[in-house]
Amino acid sequence: MPFEIYLNVAAAGVLTGLVYGLMALGLSVIFGVIRVVNFAHGEMMAIAMYIAVTLFAAFKLDPLLMMVPIAVVLFAFGYLLQAHLINPFINRPEHSQFMLLVGIGIIILNTLLMIFGPDAKNVQTSYAFDSYQVGPLIIDATKAYAGGAAILVSAALFAFFRFTLVGQAIRACADNYTGALVVGLNVQQLYALTFGLGSACVGAAGAMIVLFIDVTPPLGPAYTLLAFLIVITGGLGSMPGALVGGVLIGVTEAMAGLLFTPSAKSMFSFALLVIVLLFRPQGLLGTSAR
């Protein structure tokens, strides 16, 4: 097999993995701070994808340009969800939280089915079929844009948590819940803000992923599973871990499809998860539970 085929497949895997990573980043942020596992994560991304499809169909608005407005809508959705529905469950047993979020996921899935039906929907941008040739490398334009945007959004999120007061306050909540209460932080509001930020990440990822993947309502649960696969591999609660996990899963699936059989791609990504769990249970960049 020519070498450039490996190169092309690896490049496509990296770019897709970056977008996967951004999606999983939202899940990791939410878990890292609130310690709630968002089982409706993929379904929220499906909402973002449908918003992008609807805006494109109605007003020909490019999903890349709409990425920020869609992220804002998902931020508001996530904020309200946490403030009014999830916050009362914070101190309840984990199985209650699990059922709540699974329930929210099912409601979203069926609402999408009722509104949009089961048919696959997509956006046909002017660059939908474009690709760039750099020497032997052929890069899918939509994946290149999406991958680039994923890097920018992730960098902005890292900067927010590192350099802003609100970001530092959120990190304080994550580090020491009681301490945060003692120093007078409004933890409930910060939690809502965090869930909103995690949702905004998944909203941005949805707006980008719809450029190269058609959306159907059942895509939601599939992406929830994928997000779990990524964050557990990268390290649950670790922001860099989510991105690394995304790229690793993207490349593993791509190369497994090329070197073995494409129908067994998922088998290899789950095998990678099992290996990581065996030798580094906290994930590649996760920290051990104290």
Partner 1 sequence: MSITRYRINRRHLMAGAGATLVSLGPVSRAFAQGAPLKVGVLLPRSGAQAGIGQDCYRAVEIAPGLLKDLGLPALQIMGADTETNVDTSRSQAEKLIAEGAQLLVGAFDSGQSSAIAQVAEQKGIPFVINIAAAPPITEQGYKFVFRNFPTAPMILGDAFANQKEIFEAAGSAPKTAVFMHVNDTFGTAMAGGVGAVMPKFNMSYTIAQTISYDPTARDLSVEVAKAKSANADVLIMVSRLNDAILITRELVKQRWTPQGVLSMGPGWYEDQYLKTLGKLGDGPLSFVPWYDPNKKLSKALEAAHTKAYPEIMLNTNHVYTFEALLVAADAYKRAGSADPKALADAIRKTNITDNVSTGPGIQFNEKGQNDKLKNSAIQNRGGKLVTVAPKTAANAKAEFPMTPYDKRG
Structure tokens at 177: 């819940």
* DSSP letter, residue 93: -
Candidate residues 35, 72, 80, 131; the one interacting with partner 1 per rule CB under 8 A? 131
Q: Whose Cβ is closer to partner 1: residue 8's or residue 87's?
A: 8
Main-chain phi, psi angles of 139, to 5 degrees: -110, 130
130 versus 175: smaller Cβ distance to partner 1: 130
- Contacts of residues 90-93 at CB distance under 8 Å and 24 or more positions apart, as own/partner, are 90/34, 90/36, 90/191
Locate tokens 């949702």: which residue?
Answer: 199
What does the per-residue mask of binding to partner 1 show for 40-79, with x meaning CB under 8 A?
A: ----------------------------------------
How many residues at the interface with partner 1, by CB under 8 A? 39
User: Considering the complex, what minimum distance in angstroms separates the CB of residue 59 from partner 1?
Assistant: 20
Q: Measure CA of the first residue to CA of the last residue in the chain; give whole Å.
A: 48
- 84-113 residues in contact with partner 1 (CB under 8 A) are 113
* Chain-centre distance for alpha carbon 231: 9
**Any idea how long the chain is?**
290
Inter-residue contact 282 to 289 (CB < 8 Å): yes
User: For residues 77 and 268, which CB has a smaller minimum distance to partner 1 in the complex?
Assistant: 268
**Among residues 8, 38, 233, 238, the one that binds partner 1 under rule CB under 8 A:** 8
What is the contact surface with partner 1 in residues (CB under 8 A)?
A: 1-2, 5, 8-9, 12-13, 16, 113, 117-120, 122, 124, 128-131, 133, 138, 140-141, 212-214, 216, 218-219, 222, 253-254, 257-258, 261-263, 265-266
